[in-house]
Homo-oligomer: A and B are copies of this chain.
Amino acid sequence: MSTFRVIGTRQRKLDGRDKVTGRTAFASDLRLPGMLAGRILRSPHPHARILRLDVSAAEALPGVQAVVHAGNVRQRPFGYGADNLPLKAGKVRCAGDEVAAVAAEDEETAARALELIEVEYEVLPAVFDPYSALEPGAPLVHDERRDIEGNVSMRWDFEHGDVEAASREAAVVVEGLYSSPLSAPASIETHVCLASFGSEGQLDVWTGVHMVSMYRKALADTLELDWRQITVHQPPIGGSFGGKIDIDPIDFITVLLAARARRPVRIHFSREEEFVGSRVRQPMHIRLRTGADAEGRLLFRDADVVSDNGAYNAWGSHALLVVMQTISSLYRVPNCRVRSQVVYTNKAYGGSVRGFGNPEATFAVESQTEELAEALGMDSIELRLKNANQSGDLTPQGMRITSCGLGQCLETVRRQSGWSERRGRMRALRRGLGAAAYVHVGGGARIYPSDGCGSILRIDEAGRVTLVTGASELGQGSETVLAMVVAEALGVPLGAIRVLNQDTEVKPWDVGAHASRTTFVAGNSARLAALELREKLLETAAEVLEVDAADLELDDGQISVRGSPGRSISYDRVARRRLLRQGGSMLVASTFYDPPTEPQDGRHVGNISAAYGFGAHVAEVEVDLETGLVAVLNLWCAHDVGRALNLAGVEGQIQGGAVMGLGLALTEELGIGDGHVLQPSPREYGMLTARGVPPLHLSVVETLDPEGPFGAKGVGEAGLIPVAAAVANAVADATGCRPRSYPLAPWKLLGWLREAQQPRNRSR
């Protein structure tokens, strides 16, 4: 069917071999002459007033070049609601809050200097639970904020249709409260920031951030610097999963230290500090009510969401945007109401971890879908198919569904898992099957005036094709897929393409790597640039071959006259002929692609993405009733990816997502005790290892999206979204006991099983 030469093949990552052989230089491998080691002093208290700070002994320690704290730097508040400061002033609001920092000749001196800083705190009552935080008289995390009520930092409300009326009409209504845990992105590479001022005031920063343009702006705004003087360098990133998406106190503090020391400074988080000082996936509590008619047509959804935001508003405060979409738009929901509160607590605060609200909301919606099916006496996949979105739908939030493979994905996992024969029939074996589907933005997400990405594509005299892209490679394989897009659209061999992922001096604008948008947005941008260059190549080839450009074809680097196979010339010779002559010209194309989307309006309506991705999973589990251990035996995953550009990359993303989803479903939770992270180590935190991964059965459904590059849609987060829901549903099938929160820790499961023996009362 496809006449593509590169698109649709399996290509290993172009940057992979250097990475696995240890040749790649990450940020932590960089050294600048005179570079100092920076360290941050963190609050030991989850909530306290800073009464006195004395850095004189630290400053006096030989080898210390700078000590910074709120009293000796210029800093402005940052974050949504301007509720955060790089170095905290007056009060700390979570354990780990940044109070001071030092830069010294070596790490040991910096560590000793931290011990010499004297801080006197007045410990304040703290609040760790969002429901307690909502109670009258609860300690106020941000008592300085006059613009909010109590601890509610934001509300995200949506209403469509008439939920009350629909509620009265419904034949069946189910209700439940679904909770997700505090978890961590836990990438292999920890946070590193290296900052250096030049003698003319120019600032160079090296960091693993993947929203470099907005990072630069935030750095300038908060530290009152001229952003034209700032260059943000993006060395290869050792994973992020959203943990490095944008700016953090580490970045500001590194720059403040470099400014004060007048030397380059690097801060490099230890593994422990990575858990304590980085953003987390905040817990969510979703009380959901769904009603349907007797035939199983959804009539309404009504949701009350409490987001356990933590101490400050970072990206996590906006995950409610996504929660709302899953509730309103995974299925056809004619009436919908969502009320969400973002609640401050004295804890680690939420960032934009992979999935960003999707797994949490999907857990609620897809757990309830199976409960609803049960109540209706229907098969849950049938119920899903009946209510599934179709191409051409416009959802209550204004999402225009173009390509849509949800039905095909559901049918695929149903068939492959033996659902119809096995579901509900293995309880004796303590085995069960559970399904879950998802909807996700697949064509960018307009969260900023521009959701675009620029490309500058050049063919040099050697025939090397260089793509300077705004996109960020963070291990997800974007460079490989962009090279493939260019190779295909331009018609040259993949080996000729180099993708450059450099600094803000060279990189064009891109809003950043988030929302699974890179293949779609940067891919379209690269494709347009390649098509423009292809025209120029053919134009020059036509001159050389003395034919009309329309009679030429370009394939695998060879330009030939259609029908005259002997008359041909290679693209690199054409590039030389064009460039290396009197009055020559370069083969350069610069393009900018901004997807045809709308920002959401004040009512949260707007076609936020140019395409939507869909998929469905079925999990098979076996539950040990004595220990409470859940073993996932199989996971069937079918994803509508539009078109798989790099089959190996798409499968890798889905597999990686699925494994991350399994970790969330089964083991990952960042425990907090008295406001402190209890297990700041990867092993104790509960990340899965390769041994914990069950057989994954992947199916790629290609719906050929009309707007996507070669029909592709984003797939970066998809794999993890429905996993917890599918596993929980399988546990319910295996045991008759319905989990209402994850991870499915054995002690929790044993508790539920005991409870299930008693009369039904599983509210929170």
Contacts and interface: CB of A to CB of B under 8 A. Distances in A.
A449 B596 contact: no
Contact of A199 (B23, B199, B213, B590): B23
A111 B588 CA distance: 47
Contacts of A33: 23, 25, 29
A23 B505 CA distance: 19
Contact of A586 (B213, B508, B597): B508
A398 interface: no
Given A14-B200, A498-B505, A505-B500, A590 B586 contact: yes
Given A213-B461, A227-B462, A450-B579, A509 B586 contact: yes
A764 to B, nearest CB: 42
Interface string A257-301: 000000000000000000000000000000000000000000000
A452 B220 CA distance: 38
B216 A462 contact: yes
B496 A506 contact: no
Given A508-B458, A584-B452, A592-B584, A18 B199 contact: yes
A200 B457 CA distance: 22
Among A21, A460, A598, the one with the most B-chain Cβ atoms within 10 Å of its Cβ is A460
A596 B580 contact: no
A686 interface: no
Contacts of A508: 458, 460, 586, 588
Interface in A4-63: 14, 17-18, 21, 23, 25, 29, 31-33
Interface in A580-601: 580-586, 588, 590, 592, 594, 596-598
Contacts of A17: 198-200
Contact of A496 (B14, B228, B449): B228
B586 A454 contact: yes
A216 to B, nearest CB: 7
A671 interface: no
A634 interface: no
Contacts of A32: 25
A466 B586 contact: no
A450 B200 contact: no
A469 to B, nearest CB: 12
A217 B583 CA distance: 21
A598 to B, nearest CB: 8
B588 A454 contact: yes
A594 B583 contact: yes
Given A228-B463, A496-B228, A198 B584 contact: no
A155 interface: no
Contacts of A580: 448-450, 509
Contact of A583 (B228, B466, B596): B596
A386 interface: no
A513 interface: no
A198 B586 contact: no
Contacts of A584: 449-450, 452, 592, 594
A586 B594 contact: no
Identify which of A230, A458, A498 gathers the most chain B CB atoms within 10 Å of its CB. Answer: A458
B586 A228 contact: no
A466 B468 CA distance: 14
A466 B506 contact: yes
A189 to B, nearest CB: 16
Interface in A218-239: 220, 227-228, 230
A456 B18 contact: no
Contacts of A496: 228
Interface string A502-518: 10111011000000000
Contact of A228 (B458, B464, B588): B464
A581 B689 CA distance: 44
Contact of A500 (B217, B506, B597): B506
Interface string A190-217: 0000000011100000000000010011
Interface string A428-450: 00000000000000000010111
Given A449-B584, A509-B579, 10 more contacts: A17-B200, A18-B199, A23-B33, A228-B464, A450-B581, A460-B508, A506-B506, A508-B588, A509-B580, A590-B590
Interface of A: 14, 17-18, 21, 23, 25, 29, 31-33, 198-200, 213, 216-217, 220, 227-228, 230, 446, 448-450, 452, 454, 456, 458, 460-464, 466, 468, 495-496, 498, 500, 502, 504-506, 508-509, 572, 579-586, 588, 590, 592, 594, 596-598
28 contacts: A17-B198, A17-B199, A18-B198, A18-B199, A25-B32, A25-B33, A29-B33, A227-B462, A227-B464, A449-B580, A449-B584, A450-B581, A450-B584, A456-B456, A456-B458, A458-B508, A460-B504, A502-B506, A506-B506, A509-B586, A583-B594, A583-B596, A584-B594, A585-B592, A586-B590, A586-B592, A588-B590, A590-B590
Chain A to chain B: the 5 pairs with minimum beta-carbon distance, closest first: A17-B199, A588-B590, A228-B464, A227-B462, A450-B580
